Structure 1
Amino acid sequence: MPPSFQSRQIPIAVLLAITIFSGVVHGYLDGRWASQDARIEQVDLLTQIPAEMGDWRLMNEKPLDDSAQKLLRCYGSTTRVYQNVNTGDNVTVAVLLGPRGPIAVHTPDVCYTSQGTKTHAPRSVRSFNTDQGKHRLWSIDFRQGGERSPSLSVLYGWSSGGDFSAADNPRFWLTEDLYKLQVAGPITGSATKPSEAFLKAFLPHLEKLIR
């Protein structure tokens, strides 16, 4: 005897509730309902990053390109190139503020490998301690073209307003917004990579703007 409509109501209601709940959870994790207006002050602070820090000087600054902006849905961002006045080394730094979901899931190992580079070794954690904080960033080196040795160093991590962290799953942090910091620079064979030297000068300034 086929089940009656009434007997089907409970399974249908349960399925509907699960569907709605999963949609709400996904939307929350993706930052779908986050308001940009509430972040204006935070976004404005990113414009206050200094043009000169120790041996490093700002060479140029450019906005996030349209495709990246659409993908990450940033409230605000800055992408800059700094040069060391003593060595001539250039590094590129990006600071992004946006909804937790999109900001958390796009990592350099995905982005750079899609452009033809290859990771040289598994990522590791680098520590950068300042007077105000203890930052931990992922570090990963890349080989470009047919190189046998890595020539590009990238460091990155996330913050919800405090120290930057080399997190595995920042998408599940109990916060609506995330900052993402990413620095890329050459590997020159010197004892300290330019990207790491830059961060030592940069982080004390940045942490004052995001706390």
Structure 2
Amino acid sequence: MSTRPREAGGFLSYFATVGACAILVGAGLVHGRITDRWGVPSSVSAAADRLDHLPDVIHGWTSTRREVSDRVLTAAAAANIVDRNFLSPEGDHIQVMIVCGRPGPVTRHPPNVCFTASGLRQASGITTDRFPNEPDRQSMEFARCLFESEEASSRFITQWSFSPNGRDWQMPGNPRMAFAGEGWLYKLYIIASETKDDRVIARRNEFVNQLLAELREVLGRDAVVGETD
């Protein structure tokens, strides 16, 4: 029996719920300059606008855009959120969400806090994944954790990381402190259903490598790291 329909409607629908939690929990707890109540600085707006240039097709994977409402952006104190469902020619799904805003709100509430608060179970410890960064051969660090629904009918892997420039993705022990001096910050979520199929894993890893290359190109355009208004 094929599991494609459950994959498309299972973990992706859970992500729609917990993704909203991840960016909404704690809204209203940040004030002043952190939430830019007097307007978003032009440097932050420029960094956020670059997200809209992420290609719809990456390495043969086509994407469907998921609309993010102004209400969610405001509640999350985010300057922009891009939410895409990527589909490979073989039928593999990967959900990609990128948040851009001030470091304070962006670093709040990692998935192991928000997802479990939404009724999901954390089914593994948090480990570190590394992806190659071809230009300088350094690796990009991502946190990784497995989650499942209460009835264990859906299990999905979530990877997440932070970058102030779209080139260097890091997962420090205390992101809030590590990025406190940055003018803006990107947070990248990558979510896919659990699999032990080596071919699927290889395709996903290649997609992530290509995604990071695209982000390096798109988010690095005319960026001045740490610029503030």
TM superposition score normalised by structure 1 = 0.76
Please give the secondary structure, in 2, of the residue aligned with 1:105.
coil
Change beyond 3 A, Cα 1:195–1:105: farther
CA RMSD of aligned residues (A): 2.5
1:62 equivalent in structure 2: 66
Percent sequence identity is 20
CA distance in 2, matches of 1:193, 1:34: 43
- 1:190/1:169 CA distance change after superposition, 3 Å: same
Q: Where does residue 169 of structure 1 map in the other structure?
A: 174
| From 25, 34, 43, the counterpart of 2:48 | 43
Alpha-carbon distance in structure 2 between the residues aligned to 1:64 and 1:185: 20
- 1:41-190 alignment, distance < 5 Å: 41-58=46-63, 60-65=64-69, 68-86=72-90, 88-132=91-135, 134-147=139-152, 151-161=155-165, 162-172=167-177, 173=179, 174-190=181-197
Letter of the structure 2 residue corresponding to residue 84 of structure 1: S
TM-score (norm 2): 0.70
> Aligned partners of 1:196, 1:135: CA distance in 2, in Å?
12
Q: Is the 8 A contact 1:186 1:193 kept in 2?
A: no
Note closer, same or farther for the CA distance 1:206–1:93 as it changes in structure 2 (3 Å cut): same
Q: 1:72 to 1:175 in 2, by over 3 A?
A: same
Contact 2:44 2:184 in 1 (8 A): no
Larger Rg belongs to:
1
Measured against aligned partners, the alpha-carbon deviations of 1:164-188 in whole angstroms (never above 9, x if no partner) come to 1112222122213110000111112
Q: Which residue of 2 aligns with 1:201?
A: 210
For the residues of structure 2 that align with 1:169 and 1:32, how far apart are their CA atoms? 25
Tell me, in whole angstroms, the C-alpha distance in 2 between the residues paired with 1:180 and 1:79.
12
Give the superposition deviation at 1:81: 0.5
Point out where structure 1 has 5 or more consecutive residues left out of the alignment. Answer: 1-25
**Does the C-alpha gap of structure 1 residues 194 and 110 become closer, same or farther in structure 2, counting only changes over 3 Å?**
farther
User: Where in structure 2 are there 5+ consecutive unaligned residues?
Assistant: 1-30, 221-229
Structure 2 residue identity aligned to 1:97:
C
Q: Relative to structure 2, which stretch is displaced further, 74-83 or 29-38? A: 29-38
Cα deviations by residue, 1:21-76 (Å, 9 ceiling, x for unpaired): xxxxx856666677343333322221111111113111x11233456423321111
- Asked whether the 8 Å contact 2:48–2:79 carries over to 1, the reply is yes
Q: Is the 8 A contact 1:187 1:194 kept in 2?
A: no
Q: Secondary structure at the match of 2:78?
A: coil
2:66·2:84 contact (CA, 8 Å) conserved in 1? Answer: yes
User: Residues 27, 39 of structure 1: CA spacing in aligned structure 2 closer, same or farther, 3 A cutoff?
Assistant: closer
Which structure ranks higher in relative contact order (CA pairs < 8 Å, sequence separation ≥ 6)?
2
Tell me the equivalent position of 1:4. none
